[in-house]
Chain A
C-alpha cells in the first residue's frame, strides 16, 4: 500500500489545542508520527526576564490555560525560596485547597475533551458544566474565572470571603452527587472500555525511561506524586491516597484521573476542617524596589498533569535573570506521544493524545 503524509491539526477536528502532528500512514496504520508544536509560542520565559518579580504573576499563569494555578504556585515557591519569605499557616491551607479545586477543574476539562472525542457528548456537557461550577468558586475567591492571579509571594492575595467555606462544600457535594451518573454513562460503559483498553500502552520501565510523570506514570503502577515526595503548601498536614493502575494504557490513565478527582475532593473537605485562623499574607517589599538576593532554585509541584518544575536564577536584581519551566506536557507531547502513535490507527490519535493530557501552551513557553 502507498505511504501517505497526513497533517493532524491544528485545524483538525480531532485536535484539542493549538498543536499539530504530522503522520506518516500506510492505510489506517501510523508508521511514524512527528509532533509539531510552536503555534502558541509567545516567549514567556524570555519575557519574564524583562518584567519585575511581581509583574510576572499575570503572565506565568498563561503558560497553562487549563490549570493556571499550579503555575502560580511553582513560580511563587521559587521566588519565596530565593527571597527567603515565610508563608502564614492559613495561607498554606488556602493554597492547598485552591490547588486541589484547580486539579478537579482541570480534570473535568480533560474529561470533557476525552469523552467528547469518543463521542460521549452528554458526559462532555456534564463535565463542562461541573467545571463551570468550580470556575464560579474561583470567581468568588479571586475575581477571575480563568486566570486567577491569586497566589502571591508571602501568602495569597485575599482571604476567603464570607461563607465561602460552605459554598465550596455545597458545590463539591453537588458535583460528587453526579459521580454515579458519570460512572454509569462513561467509566463503566462498555464503549469506553472497548475504545480505550490496550490503546497507547506504555510499560513502567519505558515510562520511567522517557520521563513520564503524573497520570501517565501512575497508570503504569508507579506510586509517584510530588505532593508526597516533596510536600509543599499544606500537603504534609493532610492524609490522602495516590490512586494507581497497572496497565499503562489510555483506559488506566482516564481511570486514574477519575480516582484522583475523588481523592482531591476528600482532601479539600479534610483541609477545610483543619484550616487554622489567622493571617494569610506576609507583606513583601515594595514591588518597585524589590530585589531578590543572588541565587538559584529548582522547585517542583504536582500539577494536574504531573510534575511541574521551575528553575530560577536571580543575580540580585529586580527581575529574574532566567526562568525555565519543566512542564509535564513537554515529555508527554513530544516524546511519549510520538512513540505511542507508532503502529496505532488514525482513529486513535486523539484518543492517545488526550489520554496523555497534552496541553499545547505548556510546550510552547
Chain B
C-alpha cells in the first residue's frame, strides 16, 4: 500500500530533465550523412545517358534537352540532363546507384516550400554547376528553402562504385603471353568463349551513347542484347545492317564506341569490339544466317576502286540495292590496307577472307591484281560504268626527307613486302620512326621477324616519335602491348640525320629534342631544340610517320577537275559525290579519322548517294 501511494511521486524527477523534443523550426535536426534528400547533379560529369530515367520505378525522371549544352557524341556526351518530378520521386536512390559517371547524388536537403506546385519538377544541379542557388550554411535557413535556395556542401547519399548496380570491370580477355607471342605471328587475342561473351554482354546498360559515337552508327545495344539472349544469329543480322565486315572490324576497329561508353568513366567500357568479333567467329557461315538476296537487278553498273573496308562496304550496300558491282584492287586479295597493314597476330588473313567471300557470294565481281591506271585505264572505267566509287585510301608512306633517308625503308613497303612477298630481312637493331598505330604495327612486326631470323640472339627494336607520351597518336592498348613485348620508346625526339658508316651502311639515327609538335593553329608543325641532340644506334631504319593517297590512277585531266578541301581531302557533298559527276568517294581520302569504320560510314553514305543519283537520272 505504501508503495502505491509513493509511486506517483517518482514522476517528479522528470521535471528537471531536459526536454527531448526540438522547437522546430527554430531548432532543427541535422540529417544523417547518408540522408536521401533532393537530387544533386554535376552537369560537367553527367553524360546524359538516361540510365537514371530508365531505372526509376516511379517514372519520376525524364531527360530534358538543354540547348545551351554542347552534344559531343564522340566523347559520349549528350546534351540531355535528368529532370525530377518530386511528386513522384520516392527517394529510393536507385538512380544514384545506377549512374555510370557518378554525377547524380542525393543531398541532405528535404525542404521545398513554394506556392507553385510546378516548381516541384526541376532539373537538379549542384554547387559546382549552379553557384548562385547554393547558399553557404550560415546564409541558409529553412525559410529560404525553395528552388532558389539550397544548402552548399550538403551531400547525402552518394554513389559508391563498390555498391553500384552495374559491373564496372571488363571480362578479362585471354591473350597469348608476351614472351610467347613475340616468337611467332599467332593471333594474340584468343577471343571470348560463349560464357565470357554473355557475361560481357550483360554489362551493357543500353544507354546507346556508343551508337552516336560510332561513325557508322551500328545498332550496338541491340546486337549486344542479342548476344546476351544467346541469339548470335540475330546479333549478326543487326551488325550487317550497317557493317558488312564484322570479322575485320571485330579485330582492328578503332572502337570510338568504347571511348564513349558511359561505363568507361568510372570503370572499363563494355568490350564492344570483342563482342562483335565473338559473333563473327561464332557464325561459321554468314550466308545461311543472313539469308540476304539482292533485289531485282537494276541493270546499273558500278565500279569500286579499292577493296579496302570502304570499297567492300560500298560493294555490299550497292549489290543489296540490285546494282552490278565490280571491285578493282591491285593486291591479290580483298581487304586493302587491312590485308597489308595490321600484322597477322592482330588480324589473320582468314578473318579478312571470311568477310570478303561473303560479299563475293552476293554477286560482286572482284578483279584483284588489277591496278587502275595501269592494267585498266580510269577513262575506260568511266565509260563502261554508270558510277565510280573511289575508296583508294592512303597507300604511300610519307618520308621524313632527312639526310641519307634513301637508305631507310618505308613502313607500307615493309608491311606489304611481308604480307605479299617474302619476309623482309631485318637487322638486329631496328629503329622505327613514328608514334602512330602504323609505327606500332611495324615495330611489333619487325620485332617478331627479328626473333624468327635471329633465334636466341639479342635483338632490339626501338621507336622514335615527335610526340611525347601524352599526345602519342597510337591507341593506349597498342602502346601497352608494345611495351609488354619490350619494345623501347623514345618519345619527344625528332630525326635529324641518318648516320652512315664508311661502307655506306646505316649506323644510327641522329635525333633532336622536340620543342613543340603542333603550331598555334593546332596544325602539325614541329619545332626543335637545335642544341639538344641524341644518337640512336641501329642497323635498320623504318619510317612510319604517315601515309598519303596515290592519285596516279587518274589521268591529269580528270585529276584537275577533282576539288580538295583545305585539309587536302577530296571534297564530297552530303551524298558522297565528288566534283566530278559519276564519281563518288569515301574513306581515308575524304575523312580525317583515317580508320576502317569511318570508311564504312562513308561507303554507306556514298552508296545511298549513288542510288539516289541513278533514280534522279531516270526522271
> Is B535 close to A, CB under 8 A?
no
Residues of B within 8 A of A289 (CB): 201-202, 204, 206, 225, 228
> Is B57 close to A, CB under 8 A?
yes
> Is A56 close to B, CB under 8 A?
yes
A56 to B206, CA, bound (A): 20
B24-61 interface code vs A (CB 8 A; 1 in, 0 out) = 00000001111110000000000000010011011000
> Is B10 close to A, CB under 8 A?
yes
Size of the B side of the interface (Cβ < 8 Å), in residues, is 41
Residues of A within 8 A of B203 (CB): 286
Residues of B within 8 A of A140 (CB): 32-34
Residues of A within 8 A of B51 (CB): 288
> Is B124 close to A, CB under 8 A?
no
Least distance between A100 CB and chain B CB atoms (Å): 20
> Is B205 close to A, CB under 8 A?
yes
A230 to B10, CA, bound (A): 45
> Is A136 close to B, CB under 8 A?
yes
A286 touches B202 (CB 8 A): yes
Q: Contacting chain A: which of B88-96, B173-181, B245-253, B492-500?
A: B88-96
A184 touches B98 (CB 8 A): no
B57 touches A139 (CB 8 A): no
Least distance between B35 CB and chain A CB atoms (Å): 5
A139-155 interface code vs B (CB 8 A; 1 in, 0 out) = 11111100101000000
A143 touches B165 (CB 8 A): no
> Is B584 close to A, CB under 8 A?
no
Least distance between A189 CB and chain B CB atoms (Å): 9
A184 touches B206 (CB 8 A): no
> Is B70 close to A, CB under 8 A?
no
> Is A129 close to B, CB under 8 A?
yes
A184-B10, A286-B203, A289-B228 are contacts. A57–B92 as well, Cβ < 8 Å? yes
A140-B34, A144-B36 are contacts. A56–B167 as well, Cβ < 8 Å? no
A54 to B98, CA, bound (A): 11
A283 to B32, CA, bound (A): 26
Which residue in chain A gives the minimum CB-CB distance to B55? A287
> Is A12 close to B, CB under 8 A?
no
A184-B10, A286-B203 are contacts. A58–B32 as well, Cβ < 8 Å? no
Least distance between B163 CB and chain A CB atoms (Å): 6
Least distance between B507 CB and chain A CB atoms (Å): 58
Residues of A within 8 A of B205 (CB): 286, 288
Max chain B Cβ within 10 angstroms of own Cβ: one of A51, A140, A184: A140
A17 to B557, CA, bound (A): 92
A293 to B203, CA, bound (A): 18
> Is A277 close to B, CB under 8 A?
no
Which residue in chain B gives the minimum CB-CB distance to A149? B92
Q: Of residues 145 to 167 in B, which have CB atoms within 8 Å of A's CB atoms?
A: 156-157, 160, 162-167
> Is A157 close to B, CB under 8 A?
yes
Residues of A within 8 A of B20 (CB): 129
> Is B570 close to A, CB under 8 A?
no
Interface of A: prevailing SS: loop
Residues of B within 8 A of A129 (CB): 20
Q: Of residues 5 to 64 in A, which have CB atoms within 8 Å of B's CB atoms?
A: 51, 54-59
Interface size class of A (residues with CB under 8 A): 20 to 34
B167 touches A58 (CB 8 A): no
B94 touches A58 (CB 8 A): yes
A54 touches B165 (CB 8 A): yes
Residues of A within 8 A of B206 (CB): 288-289
A157 touches B57 (CB 8 A): no
Which residue in chain B gives the minimum CB-CB distance to A62? B90
A299 to B511, CA, bound (A): 74
A143-B93, A143-B157, A158-B163 are contacts. A288–B54 as well, Cβ < 8 Å? yes
> Is B315 close to A, CB under 8 A?
no
A287 touches B98 (CB 8 A): yes
> Is A281 close to B, CB under 8 A?
yes
B202 touches A59 (CB 8 A): no
B93 touches A286 (CB 8 A): no
A141 to B32, CA, bound (A): 8
Which residue in chain A gives the minimum CB-CB distance to B224? A289
> Is B446 close to A, CB under 8 A?
no
Contact of A149 among B54, B58, B93 (CB under 8 A): B93
A141 touches B163 (CB 8 A): no
Residues of B within 8 A of A177 (CB): none
B34 touches A56 (CB 8 A): no
A287 to B95, CA, bound (A): 12
A290 to B32, CA, bound (A): 32
Contact of A161 among B34, B90, B94, B204 (CB under 8 A): B34
A59 to B56, CA, bound (A): 12
A58-B94, A59-B57 are contacts. A286–B31 as well, Cβ < 8 Å? no
Least distance between A351 CB and chain B CB atoms (Å): 23
A304 to B166, CA, bound (A): 34
Which residue in chain B gives the minimum CB-CB distance to A144? B36
A129-B20, A144-B36 are contacts. A58–B160 as well, Cβ < 8 Å? no
> Is B2 close to A, CB under 8 A?
no
Residues of A within 8 A of B202 (CB): 285-286, 289
B172-209 interface code vs A (CB 8 A; 1 in, 0 out) = 00000000000000000000000000000111111000
Least distance between B544 CB and chain A CB atoms (Å): 41
Which residue in chain A gives the minimum CB-CB distance to B156? A143
Q: Of residues 55 to 94 in A, which have CB atoms within 8 Å of B's CB atoms?
A: 55-59
A184 touches B7 (CB 8 A): yes
Least distance between A202 CB and chain B CB atoms (Å): 32
> Is B603 close to A, CB under 8 A?
no
A142 to B162, CA, bound (A): 16
A281 touches B32 (CB 8 A): no
B225 touches A144 (CB 8 A): no
A144 touches B91 (CB 8 A): yes
A243-264 interface code vs B (CB 8 A; 1 in, 0 out) = 0000000000000000000000
Residues of A within 8 A of B34 (CB): 139-143, 158, 161
B55 touches A139 (CB 8 A): no
Which residue in chain A gives the minimum CB-CB distance to B206? A288
A55-B55, A184-B7 are contacts. A157–B163 as well, Cβ < 8 Å? yes
A356 to B167, CA, bound (A): 46
Least distance between B96 CB and chain A CB atoms (Å): 10
Residues of B within 8 A of A136 (CB): 32
A353 to B164, CA, bound (A): 43
Residues of B within 8 A of A288 (CB): 51, 54-55, 205-206
A287 touches B57 (CB 8 A): no
A54 touches B160 (CB 8 A): no
Which residue in chain A gives the minimum CB-CB distance to B203? A286
A81 to B167, CA, bound (A): 21
A287 to B98, CA, bound (A): 9
A288 to B93, CA, bound (A): 16
Contacts A/B (CB < 8 Å), 18 sampled = A54-B165, A55-B94, A57-B94, A58-B90, A58-B94, A129-B20, A143-B35, A147-B92, A161-B33, A161-B34, A184-B10, A283-B164, A286-B166, A286-B203, A288-B51, A288-B205, A288-B206, A289-B202
Question: Which 10 A-B pairs rank lowest in CB-CB distance, beginning with the nearest?
Answer: A58-B92, A55-B57, A143-B36, A143-B34, A139-B32, A140-B32, A143-B157, A149-B92, A289-B202, A58-B90
Give 7 new A-B contacts, CB below 8 A, not counting A161-B33, A285-B202.
Answer: A54-B55, A56-B57, A140-B33, A143-B34, A149-B93, A281-B163, A285-B167
The chain B residues found within 8 Å of chain A, CB to CB, are 4, 7, 10-11, 20, 31-36, 51, 54-55, 57-58, 90-94, 97-98, 106, 156-157, 160, 162-167, 201-206, 225, 228
The chain A residues found within 8 Å of chain B, CB to CB, are 51, 54-59, 122, 129, 136, 139-144, 147, 149, 157-158, 161, 184, 190, 281, 283, 285-289
